[in-house]
Amino acid sequence: MLRRITFSSLLALWLASAHAGAQSAIWPEQFGQFARKSAKPVSLTELAVWDEYGFQQAEEAQYASPGARFAATAYRLKDSTGSLAAFQWQRPAGSQPSKLGALAAETEDGVLLAYGNYLLRFQGYKPNVAELEALFNRLPRLDQSPVPTLPRYLPSQGLIPNSERFVVGPESLEKFAPGIPPSVAAFHVGAEAQLGRFQTKQGEMRLVIFSYPTPQIARQQAAAFEKLPGAMAKRAGPLLGVILSPPDPDAAERVLASVRYEASVTLSQYVPSARDRWENLLLNILLLTGILLLFCAVAGLAVGGLRTLVRHRDTGDPMIMLHLEDR
């Protein structure tokens, strides 16, 4: 019995250590000229929102080199939608767009960027492209699914910088747009939403653009939104723009009018390449013909030479003739 308990305990400890090792494998031992000094899991607040975004793991690492140190934090989420949402949420209000990526922002002492299903934060250092590419190539469980296109439908005129928020469920809706009931948003049919704050002469207002699978569903939900007190809504295809109790109704009308849906159809079209030109085709034919002629000549010489060699080596005894017919 004691032996069984000891074996079970050792097995549990081994599994726990293996799990802990697997959970601390995001940041490499070396990052550029910096060496990793420590790594530890990150404790998060507002777990309900993180979980809704598909949170899986977070790790913080300390790096150092002669005369410099910085901290790096990585958040791994389920997919690129979660990393986009987390990027908009965690982006500092005073940050500026960075050239390191489409979803990258930088401050005076650091960088925040989303890549695939990862959100990466650097504090005290701004990495270069080569360092990031080396890191991207070794990120575990990397998902590079397409980023949602919904944010591009958010109007830019009057938009407060870094005020965008992506909504994927009731928890993020409650945090960023608490005036909208989840039952009206209808996330159960596959809705997502992009939120942005706009500045008007009368004050700020929030525009939430919901995306539904079909225009018919959007039309049904528009009727439900219009029943909310003080709500202004506009449907454009499968998109539904909503502003609750705007301080300036005229400005709200102008912002809603800027929400336009343009359906795009992509056809598979063959793009001719250099090898499709007739000059290249003729050159390839001549080249192939030359190769075949050369092969035939070499093969002929080889066969003729082999037969000649065999003939010279045939040195058997000559046949003896008895001439018996003369007797």
Q: Per residue in 28-54, pLDDT tens?
A: 999 999 999 999 999 999 999 999 999
Band of pLDDT at residue 11, cut at 50, 70 and 90: very low
* 201: three-class secondary structure by DSSP: coil
Q: What is the pLDDT of residues 119-156, one digit of tens each?
A: 999 999 999 999 999 999 999 999 999 999 999 999 99
Share of residues in the chain with pLDDT > 70 (%): 83
CATH number of this structure's domain 148-262, picked from the four choices 3.40.1000, 1.20.1070, 3.30.1490, 1.10.10:
3.40.1000
Whether 284 shows a pLDDT value over 60: the answer reads yes
Q: Is the pLDDT of residue 311 over 50?
A: yes
pLDDT value for 305 = 81
274, β-bridge pairs = none
> What rounded mean pLDDT belongs to the chain?
87
The per-residue pLDDT for 283 is 82
pLDDT higher than 70, residue 23: no
User: Residue 304: which pLDDT band, with cuts at 50, 70 and 90?
Assistant: confident
Residue 204's pLDDT band, with cuts at 50, 70 and 90, is very high
- Write down the pLDDT at residue 190: 95
Report the alpha-carbon distance of residue 256 to residue 240 in Å, rounded: 9
Ordered DSSP codes for 296-321: HHHHHHHHHHHHHHHHHH--PPPPPP
For 176, what's the count of Cα atoms within 13 Å in the CB-facing half-sphere?
27
**Range 224-234 average pLDDT:** 95
Whether residue 111 contacts residue 147, with contact meaning beta carbons closer than 8 Å, is answered with: no
Cα angle: 112, vertex 117, 119; to 5 degrees: 15
Compute the distance between CA of residue 196 and CA of residue 156 in angstroms, rounded to an integer: 9
Q: Of the ranges 166-175, 271-280, 287-296, which is most confident?
A: 166-175
Domain positions in the chain are 23-145, 148-262
Q: Mean pLDDT throughout 156-183? A: 97
